[in-house]
Amino acid sequence: MARLRIEQLSKKFGASKNDTDADPYAVRSVSLDIADGEFLVLLGPSGCGKSTLLRMIAGLEEPSSGRILLDDNDITDQAPQQRDLAMVFQSYALYPHLTVAKNIGFPLRARRTPRAAIAERVEQVADVLGLGELLRRRPAALSGGQRQRVALARAMVRDPGAFLMDEPLSNLDAKLRSATRAELISLHRRLGATFLYVTHDQVEAMTMADRIALLNAGRVEQLGTPTELYDRPHSTFVAGFLGSPPMNLFPAVVTERAGELFLVADGIDTALGIEAAEFGADVEVTAGVRPEQLRLDPASVQIRGKATMVENLGSEELIHFSTGEHMLCARAPRPAGVNADDAIALRVDPAHIHLFDTATGLRMSWHQPQQGSLFEHPAPAVATA
């Protein structure tokens, strides 16, 4: 069991000659403090540097700068096999000619552990992962989910300080993925081990993580609990990444009428629930509202639009609609009674309207005019535990 700390870790790949415009940094000065026993998920779009970060921690890639600490030991320059870490890859990388038992025991054989001790440990781990019946089979005779569990068992057999996992479920079909996800969550609870888990799947991140570090172009865009990222995204990037479908984002103006602030855009005119004397000029913003916070309400005058398409999700419907030139989406229980081309009216609770600075994409929060500007940005989200 271990605390894992990363201090200002960067990775610069040499730019190739025909590719001089490309950004050479895959990871830029990332700092994370992962508590003993924590499940931290690295989330982000393809190419944002998740695997590179994990591979540096595992010792498979040399950092350009920065430090990696496991408990109080600086492991930055240690060889991979010296680090008390176990890595599980997306491709299971099992040895096809070895039985399940031999595959699981491999890391112990490589460390010259006595045979009897290996057999005992392999049995223990196989038991935990429900592989007891399969120990004599070879990988070719296993399902994808079983292979994934063998790869996990091989990582667990050494009892490492921390587990590093790079999209370990992405090869599985939807049903197996959700079953293995549940298994991993309960495994983490039972072992109490530190997990650093890479995924670009937000459902995995939301359901498994104690905290999520959302990466964008090699940097940590926001670090926090799944709820914090979902309910208070620090930027339009976070707002647009989490949620399916993601938050509606549209240009709007904040304006004052009789001491109260309103959000105004094409087809939208709704109170923000903020009192403001002496507001002065209108402020251009990027407004955000999650689809599930847009409620159909025929009596509403806040949001008026025209349905363009209705998607049936089974239990719910997604109502795509236009307000002026903007396309928005609302999520409603089925049947919502809306058809394409219908004129619709919706409302939103002001508490669920997010405001972002259009130039920087950063979240704006309201405060009293005498303290300076009307809106301010939060402090940068990158912090330690």
Ligand X SMILES: Nc1ncnc2c1ncn2[C@@H]1O[C@H](COP(=O)(O)OP(=O)(O)OP(=O)(O)O)[C@@H](O)[C@H]1O
**Chain residues in the site for Mg ion (CB under 5 A):** 51
Residue 52 binding target from ligand X, Mg ion, none, CB below 5 to 8 Å by type: ligand X
Burial of 52 (C-beta count, 10 Å sphere; 0-12/13-18/19+): buried
Q: Which is nearer to ligand X, 167 or 357 (CB)?
A: 167
Which tokens belong to 249?
């984002």
Q: Which is nearer to ligand X, 51 or 194 (CB)?
A: 51
Residue 49 binding target from ligand X, Mg ion, none, CB below 5 to 8 Å by type: ligand X
Q: Which is nearer to ligand X, 64 or 322 (CB)?
A: 64
Q: How many CB atoms lie within 10 A of CB 302?
A: 19
* Helix, strand or coil, per DSSP, at residue 111: coil
Which tokens belong to 141?
């005779």
Min. distance of Cβ 60 from ligand X in angstroms?
A: 11
In the window 141-200, what residues touch ligand X (CB under 6 A)? 200
Q: For residue 18, state whether it binds ligand X (rule: CB under 6 A).
A: no
Q: Which is nearer to ligand X, 19 or 278 (CB)?
A: 19
| 202 to 43, 130, 207, 245, 288: CA distances (angstroms) | 7, 27, 8, 11, 19
> Token pair 């599980």 is at which residue?
88
Min. distance of Cβ 51 from ligand X in angstroms?
A: 3
> Which runs of consecutive H residues, i.e. helices, occur in the chain?
50-58, 100-110, 115-128, 144-156, 174-191, 202-208, 226-231, 236-241
Q: Which is nearer to ligand X, 37 or 80 (CB)?
A: 80
Q: For residue 51, state whether it binds ligand X (rule: CB under 6 A).
A: yes
Min. distance of Cβ 45 from ligand X in angstroms?
A: 7
Residue 353 binding target from ligand X, Mg ion, none, CB below 5 to 8 Å by type: none
Q: For residue 244, state whether it binds ligand X (rule: CB under 6 A).
A: no
